[in-house]
Amino acid sequence: MRAGLLRVVPQPVLDLLTWQQMEKRICGDPEITVAKLRKFIKFDDFSSDDNRVQYFLEALNNFTSEDLSCFLKFVTGRSRLPVQITVYPERTNLDALDLMPQASTCSCTFYLPKYSSPKVCEELLRYAVYNCMSIDTDKSPWDE
């Protein structure tokens, strides 16, 4: 492993970094805050009077670093920053309220449904990020 790393990163550069700094540069930052996460979220196609963004951000503000890491995994397949996320309004059920959120890990896209309150948004988002554990649905779990 060391030989492979030295083919990409010169030894003098490695000598300047601690293992923690190296881990953070290679794997990303394990400590996630809403402020850090917000820098990597882009909202597209929301009207100015749409309360979904406000509800979503209020829900994220109640998440712990572990919850935010699970959210990242749900949306991107990665559990650490940096990664760019695009949030779009959910469009398949335009009039429906309080649906489960959906994500596309290939494009790091999150589809945000309409919610009746920030609390409902938080509950459904938390349920989704902790219960949708597999990003690979090409294979049945019964095919073992």
Catalytic residues: 106
What is the C-alpha to C-alpha distance for residues 45 and 106, in angstroms, rounded to an integer? 20
Q: How many CB atoms lie within 10 A of CB 73?
A: 19
Q: Give the separation between CA 112 and CA 41, rounded to whole angstroms.
A: 13
d(CA 90, CA 7): 45
In whole angstroms, what is the distance from residue 86 CA to residue 134 CA? 20
**CA–CA distance, 121 with 97 (Å, rounded to integer):** 10
